[in-house]
Structure 1
């Protein structure tokens, strides 16, 4: 570990997680918003399913979960079957996936989370709320484009904003690391008075409220 300990958000899953830091992905959106607040830790493994993930769960999360640990499950997103046939199927053959099977898997995930009182996000429905979701949400029919990733990020932030958790894990509610005033802060317009820019946001943060 480098520097002071920060809260950690561990993103664990398959290729949709592994690729989330590239091309304006949802992982990179979170890393940007939580700069100086929390570390976004990437633990995504392309090609994996739940059974494969269970084989290494104790290695990815070697410590017992504390009372402050919070879980958010993301259900299966929808897919663009035609786009898969024109892209991935050429290399991998028939993947045997349909949007209907994704719906069934998504609903099963959500039902388990309701039974266990775990926060969950219905990605299958969230992405399809856009009328043009088939055309804009995917790069290859499965993996998310920047537009698809924006939806995922907004859904995660909505849960973090509304969850009754103590402490809050919503980015605007968390402390900024090393945010105290310093005589070495950059000077303001008068070229003399130090200006603390620790809590400035350098992105169009309004869209992530």
Structure 2
């Protein structure tokens, strides 16, 4: 059997990337049924979906680490889409949770700073999606707090102020906004979207994905499947199909139906 790589030639194949940057709601998004996992599944063979979620983080810390996650000249193409999804921790009440709390004006400034940084490293505003925190179900979250020995440390009305600031920053910067706080509360009882009053349940993950996908799809719709559809590989000389300019599918959007 010939060793892998024995046939020389072919251009390096760089996968386009979608970057998910956020707090625990992003970190947990690759769990079974998560919105990030659903996005990765939808974009298989078109994009790598990178999960850069950091449980418990706020925008003050996110602004510091963003340049460590992505920078100009890192040898990779700029992401085709970036989600920035913070606010659930920034909006914590200062008196009850001073470590995670970030004042509203600083929160907005931090979001704007991150969008501007991305632009400085070649990621234009129109590829960025700012996602607001979801609404807080106070009764459910209070049970979680009490179980951990705390008082209720968030209020839905305060979360709403941070959501409004997030939407405003997106408008000012020319980025897309997904106002999850408002959309979820169109249902009178939004508690089924949350597993503990703050984090997303399976239904909440599905809800987020259903509203995020149209925004992502606009940014990736022109991307073909990478490498040819298996039926299009030349049987006698597969190198011609797999190593040359024919490395992209002639059936954009085609799904493999056989292994």
Normalised to the residue count of structure 1, the TM-score between the two structures is 0.78
Q: What's the counterpart of residue 169 of structure 2?
A: 112
Q: What's the counterpart of residue 178 of structure 1?
A: 227
What is the CA–CA distance in structure 2 between the aligned matches of 1:51 and 1:68, rounded to whole Å?
22
Q: 2:47 aligns with which of 27, 34, 38?
A: 38
Q: What's the counterpart of residue 81 of structure 1?
A: 138
Would you say the 8 A contact 1:23–1:145 is kept in 2? no
Q: What's the counterpart of residue 189 of structure 1?
A: none
Q: What's the counterpart of residue 190 of structure 1?
A: none
| 1:49 Cα deviation after fit | 0.5
Distance 1:79 1:201, change over 3 A: farther
Distance 1:105 1:29, change over 3 A: same
Is 1:169 matched with 2:220?
yes
Where structure 1 has 5 or more consecutive residues not aligned to the other structure, the ranges are 185-195, 203-209
> In the TM superposition, what are the counterparts of 1:1-209 in structure 2 within 5 Å?
4-63=13-72, 64-66=120-122, 70-91=127-148, 93-134=150-191, 136-161=192-217, 163=218, 168-170=219-221, 173-180=222-229, 181-182=232-233, 199-200=254-255
| 1:128 Cα deviation after fit | 1.7
SS at match of 2:148: helix
Query: Which stretches of structure 1, 4 residues or more, deviate above 3 A after TM superposition?
Result: none
Bigger-Rg structure (1/2): 2
Where structure 2 has 5 or more consecutive residues not aligned to the other structure, the ranges are 1-11, 73-119, 236-250
Would you say the 8 A contact 2:145–2:153 is kept in 1? no
| 1:65 Cα deviation after fit | 2.6
Q: What is the CA deviation profile of residues 40-89 of structure 1, one whole-angstrom value per residue up to 9, with x for unaligned ones?
A: 00101011111011121210122253256711110121011111112244
